[in-house]
Amino acid sequence: MSIIAQTSGGIEPIFALSYKRYVELGKDRKEFSIYHPGVSRFKHITKQNILSDVWVAAHQVDYKCRIKMQATAQVRIDSSISSTINLPRDTTAETVGQIYIDAWKEGLKGITVYREGSREGILVTDSYAQALQEAGLMDTVVQCVRAEGGDKFYIMTSYKDRDIKQPYQIFVQNYKQVDRDSFTRISNALIKMLKSKGVPDERIDKYIERSKDSLAKLTRFLSLSMKTNNLEAAVDILNEYSFAGTLASKLHEIFHRSLTISKAVCRNCQSSNVRTSEGCITCLDCNWSGCGG
């Protein structure tokens, strides 16, 4: 809502003066640079492109000041409030622990932290996005699927090295947060498969404990299937349950495509040493490239 209204969603500092957003438009993936509305208005009015030091983003605000600010605001608010303290990538676990201790001492009713880069599918600053690109790390594609009953699911799939052949993990957001038997059945089938493949019970139990609902459980065990090189078996399970609903069918489509492309070969020299991007294939042996079917 705040993005649509081009205003602030709360009392938190600006996350970043600009950042990257990725969206799926049909078969095309688009990347946008988004500027904070205040920055855009400032540049439009002043005709200045260089910002002074008075423009401060969340990463530059000392967490102690954030806690003091929330404690001050909370005095005038009856219900609980919370805010997310944005931290640089190199923040230590000790610092995170101290934030919660300090928040408790100030009597805050809620506080969260987000260390940049600790989760994929989350907003990142321009500088961090550039670092990811230069390092050849994961890239995330977001797709929206409308399911039965008007449900809307946002599927966020992360790929290593921007390569569709290498899906690494998946998140799915559904704001209704409704548990479904079909999600549970698929998750249980994935768990049974992973156990048969030798994945330790301790690791599986940890994923179960961290799953707050059936949808989270499904996506966590899909991610675990990728991380343990069992995606092909997971896709077979998704195929069996694709009748269960739009989401299951879409997940099968996404990962079946990755498996199909991973078996692609160069049409010129028949080498399997190929790179895929945006539906195109480039041979790393003979430099042949082609797009389409």
Is 59 within the bounds of a domain?
A: yes
Domain end marker among 83, 115, 147: 115
Same domain, 285 and 179: no
Higher pLDDT, 82 or 186: 186
pLDDT of residue 24: 61
Residue with the larger pLDDT of the pair 228 and 171: 228
Mean pLDDT over each residue of the chain, to the nearest integer: 78
Residue 56 has pLDDT above 50, yes or no: yes
pTM of the predicted structure, to 2 decimals: 0.48
Do residues 98 and 174 both lie within one domain?
no
Residue 124 lies in a domain: no
The total domain count for the chain is 3
Tell whether 293 and 230 lie within a shared domain. Answer: no
User: How high is the pLDDT of residue 94?
Assistant: 92
In a domain, residue 164? The reply is yes
Say whether both 159 and 209 belong to one domain.
yes
Please give the average per-residue pLDDT across 141-149, as a whole number.
74
For the chain, report the end-to-end CA distance as a whole number of angstroms.
Answer: 40
The answer to whether residue 256 is domain-embedded is yes
Mean pLDDT across 110-117 = 82
Same domain (yes/no): 159, 208: yes
Q: Over 50: is that where the pLDDT of 120 sits?
A: no
* Domain hosting residue 150, numbered range: 138-262
Q: How confident is the model at residue 146 (pLDDT cuts 50, 70, 90)?
A: confident
pLDDT band at 125 (very low <50, low <70, confident <90, very high): low
Assess whether 258 and 273 both reside in one domain.
Answer: no
| Residue 191 shares a structural domain with residue 271 | no
Q: How far apart are CA 29 and CA 18, in angstroms?
A: 20
pLDDT band at 225 (very low <50, low <70, confident <90, very high): very high
Residue 206 lies in a domain: yes
**Cβ-count burial of 103 within 10 angstroms (0-12 exposed, 13-18 middle, 19+ buried)?**
buried
- Cα dihedral 147→149→152→158 (10° resolution): -40
Q: Give residue-wise pLDDT tens across range 14-42.
A: 777 777 666 666 556 667 777 777 788 88
Residue 162 belongs to a domain: yes
CA atoms of 65 and 161, how far apart (whole Å): 38
What does the DSSP 8-state code read for residue 86? E
Q: pLDDT, tens digit, for every residue of 177-222?
A: 666 788 899 999 999 999 999 999 999 999 998 888 888 899 999 9
Supply the angle between the helices 201-209 and 214-227 in degrees, to the nearest 10: 150
| Pair (14, 32) in one structural domain | yes
pLDDT at 137: 46
Q: What is the pLDDT of residue 135?
A: 43
The overall longest dimension of the chain from CA atoms, in Å, is 71
Are 270 and 257 members of one domain?
A: no
Residue 121 falls within a domain, yes or no?
no
Whether 47 is in a domain gets the answer: yes
Q: Are residues 215 and 258 part of one domain?
A: yes
**Residue 279 sits in the same domain as residue 208:** no
Q: What pLDDT was estimated at residue 241? A: 86
Which residue would you say has higher pLDDT here, 173 or 272?
173
Q: What average pLDDT does this structure show over 51-67?
A: 83
Task: Looking at the structure, tell me whether residues 213 and 257 fall in a common domain.
Answer: yes
**Mean per-residue pLDDT, 2-14:** 68
